[in-house]
Amino acid sequence: MKKMKAGKRSSVAPKNVDEYLAGVPEPARSTLNELRATIGSVLPCAATETISYGMPAFKHHRVLEWYALFSKHCSLFPTAAVFKSYKAELKGLATSKGTVQFPTDTPLPTALFMRLV
């Protein structure tokens, strides 16, 4: 899967999540900001944001969730155990190995994503 080079982002990796999101065009930026807020509302308050593998992530002792913009969709990267536990609920969403894919211009399934996190 190819990550989107949003806007005129340079080949230099972003230093933080705000810098990553600043390079993302609308409507994807709003979608990722909503996802960021959703993830942040569920994780422990000690969780911090970081860039890992060039993508925004939340970590607490280890990376717990990644999310990113790709050329034709956004993705959330929950753990393998989550995929097994929520397999039935994920039907109807595009998935691939380790990722839930969703369009950049439609409402997020926020309640489902809160359960996944």
Reported pTM: 0.83
pLDDT at 47: 94
Of the CA atoms within 13 Å of residue 90, those in its CB half-sphere come to: 22
Domains of the chain listed by start with CATH number:
17-116 (3.90.1150.200)
Report d(CA 8, CA 13) in Å as an integer: 13
DSSP, collapsed to helix, strand or coil, labels residue 12 as coil
pLDDT at 81: 80
pLDDT, tens digit, 9 for 90 and up, residues 3-62: 444 434 456 789 999 999 999 999 999 999 999 999 999 998 899 999 999 999 999 999
